[in-house]
């Protein structure tokens, strides 16, 4: 009764003198911040400060060496969007890259995960085999595929030899403007899709089997099971990976740089490879920073779409 009648502290002075309030404050506010503080400080130091610096540098003519920095306002952005023809081309390549990676690996991964989910014996072996490319370094993967796609001694040339053809399959896929970008996407996908498949498979295995049993009792065929049980069951991971792959598409760099360096004739140039060349080869670090900010804005826009959709009631 005495406790019930105790007056709740309202002023700061009263709160500080109240033992219960102090303990609660310590437990709910101070200790969590103490635990998170090291990570937060590191994050501020290695992410937040460089990000703010990057935005500032995008408004300057910084060359990338020394501290001779002149503020130029939005000049870099004006040049990027209204003068630099190659930027539009690179952006188009990024979009093509995104469309490829939002379709081909997802279809492959969903199909194989669905098949593998039903394998009772030896499933781990298949999963491991299909996942191995993902753990290979990009330098290794590109070296392997450079040789495999070599027009004179690669698999295309071997097929031509076997079939008695001439320059039909043994062509320079990476050396032709019309096929270079998609050839790189094919190689990157060879490395990537196994990762997606493992994620989808893990999600599928968490779907209660009773839902499949109920679907069978209702007379559902395989497609209907997939459409009405599997897809809804893995939707959160599916949509999350859609968002991540869309963001990653604007960060594509390593496979392109290792295989064609953006060539031939800019046919496989993307924003990230342009950014690298501007910052490190052309001494236009401020301009490169502006490109980096634009990539971040695109990524933010993609996140915004997903957040909006979620707020409108989608279960993602």
Partner 1 sequence: MKGIKILFAIAVLVLALAPVGAQDVTTVTMWFSEGSTLDCWGPLMLEFNDIDPSIQLEIVPQANAWDVTRTAVAGGGGPDVVRTPGPSFVYEMAQAGLILPMDTFAESMGWGDFFFDWALDLGLVDGQLYSLSDELETLVMYYNVEVFEENGWTPPDTMDELNALAAEVEAAGLTVFSHGNASWRPTNEHFVGEYWTQVAGPHKVYQALSGEIPWTDESLVEAIELLDAHMQAGWYGGGVDLYFTNDGVYRRTSLAEGSAAMNIEGSWAIRGTVDYFGESGMTWDWVPVPSHDGTDYYTIGMGNTSSINANSPHPEAAAQFLTWYFSPATQGKMLTNCLKGPAPVAIGADVMAELDPRIARLYAELSDASANDRYGYTTWTFWPPKSDVYIYEEVERVWTGEITAMEYSEGLQELFAEELAAGDIPPIPTR
Q: Which residues contact partner 1 by CB under 8 A? A: 63-68, 146, 149-152, 171-172, 174-177, 180, 260-267, 277, 280-284
Distance of closest approach, residue 181 Cβ to partner 1, in angstroms: 13
Question: Which residue number, 189 or 273, has a Cβ lying nearer to partner 1?
Answer: 273
What's the rounded Cα separation, in Å, for the pair 292 and 272?
8
- Peptide bond before residue 264 is cis, with ω within 30 degrees of 0: yes
* Tokens encoding 166: 């001439």
Question: Which residue number, 51 or 171, has a Cβ lying nearer to partner 1?
Answer: 171
Question: Which residue number, 176 or 310, has a Cβ lying nearer to partner 1?
Answer: 176
Distance of closest approach, residue 137 Cβ to partner 1, in angstroms: 13
Distance of closest approach, residue 287 Cβ to partner 1, in angstroms: 10
Only one residue has tokens 């190659």, namely 86
Would residue 154 be called left, alpha or beta, if left means φ above 0 and alpha means ψ between -120 and 50 degrees?
A: beta
Question: Which residue number, 68 or 206, has a Cβ lying nearer to partner 1?
Answer: 68
Distance of closest approach, residue 49 Cβ to partner 1, in angstroms: 14
Own/partner long-range contacts of 142-150 (Cβ < 8 Å, ≥24 apart)? 142/187, 142/255, 142/258, 142/259, 145/187, 145/190, 145/259, 146/174, 146/259, 149/173, 149/174, 149/183, 149/187
Q: Are 157 and 170 in contact (CB under 8 A)?
A: yes
Angle 180-205/138-148 helices, nearest 10 degrees? 130
Query: Cα torsion for 175, 191, 275, 296, to the nearest 10°?
Result: 140
Question: Which residue number, 190 or 257, has a Cβ lying nearer to partner 1?
Answer: 257
Distance of closest approach, residue 284 Cβ to partner 1, in angstroms: 7
Question: Could you tell me which of 142, 153, 138, 149 has the C-alpha nearest to residue 174?
Answer: 149
Q: What is the CA radius of gyration of the chain?
A: 27
What's the rounded Cα separation, in Å, for the pair 238 and 79?
38
Question: Which residue number, 11 or 68, has a Cβ lying nearer to partner 1?
Answer: 68
Only one residue has tokens 């400080």, namely 41
Question: Which residue number, 241 or 269, has a Cβ lying nearer to partner 1?
Answer: 269
Q: Is 117 exposed, middle or buried (0-12, 13-18, 19+ CB in 10 A)?
A: middle
Distance of closest approach, residue 150 Cβ to partner 1, in angstroms: 7
What's the rounded Cα separation, in Å, for the pair 157 and 118?
38
Distance of closest approach, residue 134 Cβ to partner 1, in angstroms: 23
Question: Which residue number, 65 or 210, has a Cβ lying nearer to partner 1?
Answer: 65
Distance of closest approach, residue 271 Cβ to partner 1, in angstroms: 15
């Amino acid at each position: 009764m005495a406790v019930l009648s105790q007056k709740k502290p309202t002023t700061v002075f009263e709160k500080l003198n109240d033992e219960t309030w102090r303990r609660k404050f310590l437990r709910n506010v101070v200790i969590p911040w103490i635990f998170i503080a090291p990570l937060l400080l590191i994050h501020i130091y290695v992410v937040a400060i460089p990000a703010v610096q990057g935005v500032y540098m995008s408004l300057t003519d910084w060359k990338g060496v020394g501290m001779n920095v002149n503020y130029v306002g939005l000049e870099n952005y004006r040049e990027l969007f209204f003068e630099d023809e190659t930027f539009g081309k690179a952006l188009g390549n990024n979009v093509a890259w995104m469309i490829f990676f939002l379709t081909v690996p997802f279809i492959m991964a969903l199909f194989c995960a669905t098949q593998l989910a039903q394998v009772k014996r030896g499933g781990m072996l298949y999963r491991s085999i299909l996942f191995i490319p993902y753990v290979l370094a990009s330098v290794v993967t590109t070296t392997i595929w450079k040789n495999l796609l070599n027009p004179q001694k690669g698999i295309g040339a071997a097929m031509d030899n076997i079939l008695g053809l001439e320059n039909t399959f043994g062509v320079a896929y990476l050396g032709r403007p019309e096929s270079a970008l998609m050839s790189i996407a094919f190689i990157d996908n060879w490395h990537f899709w196994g990762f997606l498949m493992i994620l989808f498979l893990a999600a599928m295995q968490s779907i209660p089997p009773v839902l499949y049993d109920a679907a069978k009792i209702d007379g559902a065929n395989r497609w209907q099971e997939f459409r009405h049980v599997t897809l809804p069951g893995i939707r959160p991971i599916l949509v999350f990976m859609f968002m991540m792959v869309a963001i990653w598409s604007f960060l594509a760099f390593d496979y392109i740089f290792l295989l064609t360096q953006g060539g031939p004739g800019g046919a496989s140039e993307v924003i990230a490879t342009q950014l690298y060349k501007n910052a490190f080869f052309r001494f236009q670090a401020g301009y490169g920073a502006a490109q980096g900010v634009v990539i971040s804005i695109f990524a933010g826009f993609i996140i915004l779409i997903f957040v909006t959709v979620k707020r409108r009631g989608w279960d993602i």
